């Protein structure tokens, strides 16, 4: 397990590496051989790097074993096959996504200053998604979605979809409080997400070698997205 920033919504892949063998209980257990844990983590770290840079098809078990400095047998013994390894790595991001979602949306429904809370939300959300390895992971999953449709759907449900669900709940509460006019809170959550994240994600998909915008530009993108959202959904004093 490596120590990435827990504020990242898709803090990827090597953050939570299950350490059971295929078919076993994925939860860590006391008394596991530290050497076995190190081997499994080394394989996962190597595979993560290769999958992100070479894609699923472009990465072989030989490549992974060589990068991890283990035998091919060790890779098979720990993960079964390449598909299972890829699946465990992708879904290893989702517990961190759950933590991020809770941090991101906590107290939004009860915010006293809703415009300030939504602008802060937009800045934190965009800064987290703009991390290069997060963008690489999204691109990789999209590229492999036709090969692994169930995995792509599960990842979406556990990570980006979880954020949309949490925002939907918060915007529904703000609508009920009279702070937002959002009779369809899920549509409002989708609009917020695309206003704040859409340009960045499109750029990452179509120009994968382009660096993310600098922090000041990210803040400007987030602020203008939040402003557009509030212009559409914020109730003025005369309408409250």
- For the stretch 166-177, pLDDT in tens is 999 999 999 999
Which superfamily does 34-91 belong to?
Homeodomain-like (1.10.10.60)
Residues of the chain with CATH 1.10.10.60: 34-91
Residues of the chain with CATH 1.10.357.10: 94-239
Please give the model's pTM, rounded to 2 decimal places.
0.80
Structure tokens belonging to residue 87: 């699946």
Q: Judge contact between 97 and 162, C-beta under 8 A.
A: yes
User: Distance between CA atoms of 201 and 111, rounded to whole angstroms?
Assistant: 28
How much is the pLDDT for 75? 95
93: phi > 0 → left, psi -120 to 50 → alpha, else beta; which?
Answer: alpha
User: Distance between CA atoms of 164 and 196, rounded to whole angstroms?
Assistant: 13
* DSSP tally for the chain: helices H, then strands E: 11, 0
Residue 117 phi, psi dihedral angles, 5° rounding: -65, -40
pLDDT one digit per residue (tens) for the chain, 240 residues: 333 343 444 433 333 554 444 444 444 444 567 888 899 999 999 999 999 889 999 999 999 999 999 999 999 999 999 999 999 999 887 777 777 788 888 889 999 999 999 999 999 999 999 988 889 889 999 999 999 999 999 999 999 999 999 999 999 999 999 999 999 999 999 999 999 999 999 999 899 888 889 999 999 999 999 999 999 999 765 444
User: Distance between CA atoms of 223 and 131, rounded to whole angstroms?
Assistant: 18
Of the candidate CATH numbers 3.40.50.300, 3.40.190.10, 1.10.357.10, 3.30.390.10, the domain formed by 94-239 belongs to 1.10.357.10
């Amino acid at each position: 397990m490596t120590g990435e920033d827990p504020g990242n919504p898709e803090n990827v892949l090597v953050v939570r590496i299950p350490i059971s063998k295929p078919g076993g209980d994925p939860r860590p257990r006391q008394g596991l051989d530290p050497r076995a844990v190190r081997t499994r983590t080394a394989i996962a770290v190597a595979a993560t790097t290769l999958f992100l840079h070479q894609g699923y098809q472009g990465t072989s078990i030989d490549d992974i074993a060589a990068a991890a400095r283990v035998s091919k047998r060790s890779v098979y013994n720990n993960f079964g096959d390449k598909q299972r390894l890829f699946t465990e790595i992708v879904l290893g991001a989702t517990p961190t996504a759950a933590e991020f979602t809770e941090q991101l949306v906590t107290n939004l429904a009860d915010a006293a200053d809703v415009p300030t809370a939504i602008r802060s939300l937009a800045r934190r959300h965009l800064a987290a998604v703009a991390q290069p390895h997060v963008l690489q992971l999204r691109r990789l999953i999209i590229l492999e979605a036709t090969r692994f449709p169930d995995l792509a759907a599960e990842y979406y449900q556990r990570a980006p979809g979880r954020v949309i669900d949490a925002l939907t709940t918060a915007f529904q509460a703000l609508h009920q409080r009279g702070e937002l006019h959002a009779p369809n809170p899920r549509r409002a959550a989708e609009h917020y997400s695309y206003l704040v994240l859409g340009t960045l994600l499109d750029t990452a998909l179509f120009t994968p070698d382009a660096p993310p915008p600098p922090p000041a530009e990210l803040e400007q993108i987030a602020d203008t997205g939040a402003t557009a959202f509030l212009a559409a959904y914020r109730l003025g004093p005369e309408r409250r």
